[in-house]
Structure 1
Amino acid sequence: MNKRTKTNIILLVIVLLLIIFPFVFVHGEYGGSDDQGTEQIKKFAPHYKVWAHPIWEPPSGEIESLLFTVQGSLGTGIIAYVIGNAHGRKKALKELEHPSQKTSASAKK
């Protein structure tokens, strides 16, 4: 097993621990930040009146969760595309500047 494989396995284990840890050791309700914010407003300013309302409310909590997930997925896709595109450009520019390195690297294989 090479060094890169060992590093990847260690990182995978760390990520899994970070995912599992809150479910095993943190007890309580998992509420959204909107609910917590509303509770704090009611606590400190009980006479506060809401002045902004959503244009459209999803018919159920499941659809709201779906839309939130789709929004996050699209954002992640855009960020990954931009990073990948920048990496590809950098790699292509490096190959244009030093074309002999590409041929010597492929000859070693």
Structure 2
Amino acid sequence: MTTTTKNILLLTGVILLAVIPLLFVNGEFGGADGAAEEMIKELHPAYEPWFSSLLEPPPETESMLFALQAALGAGFIGYTIGLFKGRASKSKSQ
């Protein structure tokens, strides 16, 4: 099996792992924001929010964007650590 074939299979697997759960989800995703909103309504029923969102994506999209943000942050941190480690080992070898 060639490297290109392995890479294509791995990429396909990653895409399937991301897409398949979204196809089979029937319920709503609950989050801290929804729980906090319910608690505020319970504790102070007369409370009115100062403003509302201009765009409110579905909960699945919010979860996916949060996961993407976490993955990009982890990738950036990993790249930075690898870069500094590579520079340190290069300077030691010279």
TM-score bucket (shorter structure): 0.5 to 0.7
Give SS of 2:30's match: coil
> With CA pairs under 8 Å and 6+ residues apart, which has the higher RCO, 1 or 2?
2
User: Which residue matches 1:89?
Assistant: 87
| Larger-gyration structure (1/2) | 1
Gap change, CA 1:39 and 1:32, over 3 Å in 2: same
User: Which residue matches 1:62?
Assistant: 60
Q: With structure 2 as the length reference, what TM-score do the two structures score?
A: 0.55
- Alpha-carbon distance, 1:66 to partner: 2.2
Residues 49-73 of structure 1: per-residue CA shift (max 9 Å, x gap): 1113223222x33322222222221
The AA in structure 1 aligned to 2:65 is L
Give SS of 2:36's match: helix
- Alpha-carbon distance, 1:35 to partner: 1.7
The AA in structure 1 aligned to 2:38 is E
Gap change, CA 1:56 and 1:36, over 3 Å in 2: same
* Two-structure CA RMSD over aligned residues (Å): 2.1
- Alpha-carbon distance, 1:85 to partner: 1.2
Give unpaired runs (5+ residues) of structure 1.
1-29, 97-109
Residues 71-96 of structure 1: per-residue CA shift (max 9 Å, x gap): 22111111111111121122222223
Aligned ranges 1:1-109 → 2 under 5 Å: 31-58=30-57, 60-96=58-94
The AA in structure 1 aligned to 2:84 is A
User: Percent identity between the aligned chains?
Assistant: 41
Q: With structure 1 as the length reference, what TM-score do the two structures score?
A: 0.49
Counting matched residue pairs gives 66
